[in-house]
Structure 1
Amino acid sequence: MTAEALEQQTYLPDQPEQLATVASFLEAHQSRRGSSPEPRYFLAGAQEGDQVEVPEALHMVLLQVVEALKAGHAVTVAPQSSKLTTQQAADLLGVSRPTVVRLIDQGDLPAERIGTRRKVLLRELLDYRERRRQRQYDAIAATGVELDAEDDPVAVQEQLRAIRQELADRRRGHTS
């Protein structure tokens, strides 16, 4: 593998007619649960019979890239190590490095120590990010209230304030 392949690269949408053909092919051959036999994907070389099977996960990456390019978006491919520094983890989560360190110290985010440094496994970080998103979605759903024209705005505001306080207490560990 060349050093260039390990660097971050950004690709701009180009040749929309070719993207449409590839997108149509990928969509038509998406994995269908319960269908038989399971679809298989291949990359073909210049010589007849020169091909390699592509794993479904790579097929899904290609599908996402083609869809983004087809929609006119640029796509950046940025290789990541499976072990990240706390700064890399912070960048991926969109938080500060001290926040990642606090998450590690609290046991919310597993990490390993290598000398004086902490390393976070990419898989663990992605799992944490998904759990955090789910908690955020749950919190949003919990604060939803049904309103109609006869509702008193002050009463609704008090109801929302009580829900927010309950969620804040839960976060701080003061479960009721």
Structure 2
Amino acid sequence: MSVKTVTGEVVQLDPHLSDFVFNILACLGNGSVTITGLPEEVTTTIAAEMLGVSRPTLMKRIASGEITGRKVGSHTRLRTDDVLRLRERENIKREQAFAELRKIDEEFDALD
């Protein structure tokens, strides 16, 4: 997608970024935007929500070394950057798997 800046420059946006921008604009139109920074560390509950998994599943991933957590007393904390990187890796894997399924579907349709 191409957009024109206020200076007249035309900029090409990545599809993911353009979706993000449109979502932000839609929220702005509804008056429902609050901007805050992310903390350096998050709880396992928040990290699980960010990843779209259950807390027990996240704890298994920490135990297996897939993502690093650190103990603060009896609680586990995760670096926000680590959680975001894991989420991005999972999104890429999901997109690749979907592309493979589409390819198989197209090959199957070609046989008909």
TM exceeding 0.5: yes
8 Å contact kept, 1:68–1:75: no
Q: 1:113 aligns with which of 71, 82, 85?
A: 71
CA deviation after TM superposition for structure 1 residue 31, in Å: 8.7
2:5 is matched with 27
2:50 is matched with 92
1:130-169 pair list within 5 angstroms: 130-144=88-102, 145=104, 146=106, 147-148=109-110, 151=112
Q: Percent identity?
A: 26
Structure having the higher helix fraction is 2
Work out the CA distance in 2 between the residues paired with 1:88 and 1:141: 30
CA deviation after TM superposition for structure 1 residue 110, in Å: 1.7
Structure 2's unaligned 5+ residue stretches are: 12-20
Work out the CA distance in 2 between the residues paired with 1:84 and 1:31: 39
8 Å contact kept, 1:111–1:120: yes
CA deviation after TM superposition for structure 1 residue 79, in Å: 4.3
Change (3 A) 1:31 1:119: farther
- Secondary structure of the 1:108 match is coil
Deviations 1:106-138 (A, max 9, x none): 111122222322110000100000000001111
Q: Normalising by structure 1, what TM-score?
A: 0.45
1:75 counterpart = 2:15: no
Kindly tell me the number of residue pairs found equivalent between the two proteins: 98
Give the RMSD, CA atoms, in angstroms.
3.4
- Secondary structure of the 2:90 match is helix
The one-letter amino acid paired with 2:96 is D
Change (3 A) 1:134 1:89: same
Q: Normalising by structure 2, what TM-score?
A: 0.66
- Secondary structure of the 1:77 match is coil
Structure 1's unaligned 5+ residue stretches are: 1-25, 34-63, 152-176
